[in-house]
Copies of this chain bind each other. A is one copy, B any other.
């Protein structure tokens, strides 16, 4: 093949992908209108049907998943990824359960609030409405397919789902279940579309179609999220770093301080809401650090400390500037002794990622200051950072955690997939 033909062939293919994505976009936009009007009963019926179909189709889903797993092993994907990819009857049951849970949540769409009378005679309020079309870009876990579809449907949004190539067969098997649930219950079959090609350029096209997609939610590693955010011309709800802090104040109850600091670090190491840096007020450092040092040592947590920390915990490695900026996602903890709440807040604002930060204190005024002055999506008092989670917050489900400030912060549930329009009721009212 001559270089010219080659280039032409590639160009044609890029056009094909653009046309393919455009077609999905047009269909999604049309479906989103019907879905926005669908009543709660219709959406719930579809979700309960989906749960049933997922269970009834377990065999074909597991077969498709086995094919993905075989190919994954042949491609020598790493074990962690294969674990996320693998389905079994329990995981399918959990998937169906998750869909039913979403069905049981209150419908946010159509909620009318704050209807106030104005001097002009009109009555003005807000109504919650779907965003329109949601694009989800994710990696290995096939359960995201059912989960994201359910959340989008319940919130009245059409969805375009683009999963990873390693999970394609599994995702398409689940897609067939979703399609059946939609058509069986009279909802538009294009309400949820799962891409059946996984060319990387589908992502490039997806993030640049503001006319068809109203928000993109990337779910996956930091590399994926950053790449999507960088290229996006559509609003993105994204989650980047989770460098979470606990600050033990001079007025802390030491028992609470120990409980919170231990839980925030050791309950799970790999999660975004795990504490990565512990700040301890100098007034209580000598009383609390030895206790914590012992518990962490027992749990196998490596300590990297500032100088003052290392005078108390003499085994600790010295912390470098880099440590304050690192999300370990591992049994490692940076510890700094600070002069007071000002230095603590300053540290959090300088090195943190605006995700989740907690203070342990009994002091009323410092509680007020910390809540107000720490600019993080979750600010906590006397509670473990591990609580930063849609289920713990009572959202019932979570489509992601946002580290952005615009539109939605922190755990994002159904409400984050909607926005408020204005409603004006008059009586022939004119200006």
Contacts and interface: CB of A to CB of B under 8 A. Distances in A.
A382 interface: yes
17 contacts: A122-B387, A124-B392, A131-B406, A235-B406, A253-B428, A255-B428, A260-B428, A379-B421, A380-B423, A380-B424, A382-B426, A383-B426, A383-B428, A383-B430, A387-B424, A387-B426, A387-B431
A407 B410 contact: no
Contact of A124 (B215, B230, B394, B422): B394
Nearest to A262: B430
Interface stretch (A1-9, A91-99, A369-377): A369-377
B349 A382 contact: no
A256 B428 contact: yes
A409 interface: yes
B431 A386 contact: yes
A348 to B, nearest CB: 11
Interface in A210-230: 214-215, 230
Interface string A406-431: 11111100000001111111111111
A23 to B, nearest CB: 19
Please classify the interface of chain A as helix (H, G, I), strand (E, B), loop, or mixed, using the class held by over half of its residues: mixed
Interface residues of A, number: 69
A110 B394 CA distance: 22
A366 B430 CA distance: 21
Given A33-B349, A387-B431, A129 B260 contact: no
Contact of A384 (B129, B408, B421, B429): B429
A37 interface: yes
Contact of A429 (B371, B382, B408, B430): B382
Give the 8 A-B CB pairs with smallest separation, nearest first. Answer: A383-B426, A256-B428, A263-B430, A380-B424, A407-B407, A378-B422, A383-B429, A235-B406
Contacts of A394: 116, 118, 124
A210 B105 CA distance: 35
A260 B386 contact: no
B110 A421 contact: no
A394 B117 CA distance: 10
Given A256-B427, A428-B256, A127 B33 contact: no
A376 B421 contact: yes
Nearest to A257: B428
Contacts of A120: 387, 392
Contact of A393 (B233, B371, B388, B422): B422
